[in-house]
Chains A and B, each alone.
Chain A
Amino acid sequence: MAAPLPALFQLLSVRAGFLQARHAVLAQNLANADTPRYQPQDLVEPDFEALLRGGPGATPSVSVARTRSAHLAGVSAGAASPRQKAVEAFETAPSGNAVIIEEQIRLMGQADRGYQLATNLYGKYVGMMRTALGVGNA
């Protein structure tokens, strides 16, 4: 059972990164709640299940091809920068602003709970590893 754990850690950190980015986008919507003609944004959720199974899409990052060994591997943002999408507006104010504060707060709470789950799971698995190493009681 050595293999699944690192994949899980990777999954959890990608998930946490996604939720952080999503929180920032939602904060942006809230800050622009009174900006004329502003349309709320959200992020497209990456396929976390494929990432965990190790199937296609397990490594969502795209890297630069290297034709010589002396070439440097490019740094790619990968899954840490999910695509941004515009959300269809439920209600648009006369000023052209379509942000509904309640909706954004709800989505933010969702991101917050997801983050809590990810960090707690991460902590739990670290604890399990420590137990396996015999320092669980230390």
Chain B
Amino acid sequence: MDLETSMQIAAAGMQAQSARLRVTSENLANAQSTAQSPGGDPYRRKTISFANALDRATGARLVEVRRYGTDPAAFERRFEPSHPAADATGYVLYPNVNPLIELMDMREAQRSFEANLTAMQQARGMLQRTLDLLR
């Protein structure tokens, strides 16, 4: 394990966090996406899960996206008879997305991304100092 490995691991971490950020923004963008047809199901919140992955070439334990899932939480029901997606009783199902949770998730992804970025910058600085020995 050397500094190149270090940078590779940090890059994998940043990739995983940006995938998470993408899922979060998908959820936020679809926070009001109701069904296409009356009485149908609206957008279901997506989740992401990470896993530890051994990179056999370098022996480093990288991180990767294990799977994209969906949140089984119940949809929100609102009484809006004039809505095009309302069912026979006048209720519309809204997505189970809570913008507050999504924003917190986004902030956490951002912080983790920054931590990985710091790791990469530090590895780069260490490499630079090694090269400076040649001067």
Known interface pairs A119-B130, A126-B133. Does A25 touch B1 (Cβ–Cβ under 8 Å)? Answer: yes
Q: A30's contact among B3, B13, B51, B60, by CB below 8 Å, is which?
A: B13
A50 interfacial by beta-carbon distance below 8 Å = no
Chain B 1-34, CB within 8 Å of chain A: the 1/0 string? 1110111011011001100100000000000000
Task: Given A23-B3, A122-B133, verify A108-B119 contact (CB < 8 Å).
Answer: yes
Instruction: Classify the secondary structure of B's interface with A.
Output: helix
- Please indicate the chain A residues that have their CB under 8 angstroms from the CB of B130 in the complex: 16, 119
Contact with A along B32-75 (1 / 0, CB 8 A): 00000000000000000111100000001111000000000000
User: Which B residues form the contact surface with A (CB < 8 A)?
Assistant: 1-3, 5-7, 9-10, 12-13, 16-17, 20, 49-52, 60-63, 108, 111-112, 115-116, 118-120, 122-123, 125-126, 129-130, 132-133
Q: Which residues of A contact B (CB under 8 A)?
A: 16-17, 19-21, 23-28, 30-36, 38, 81, 101, 104-105, 108-109, 112, 115-116, 119, 122-123, 126
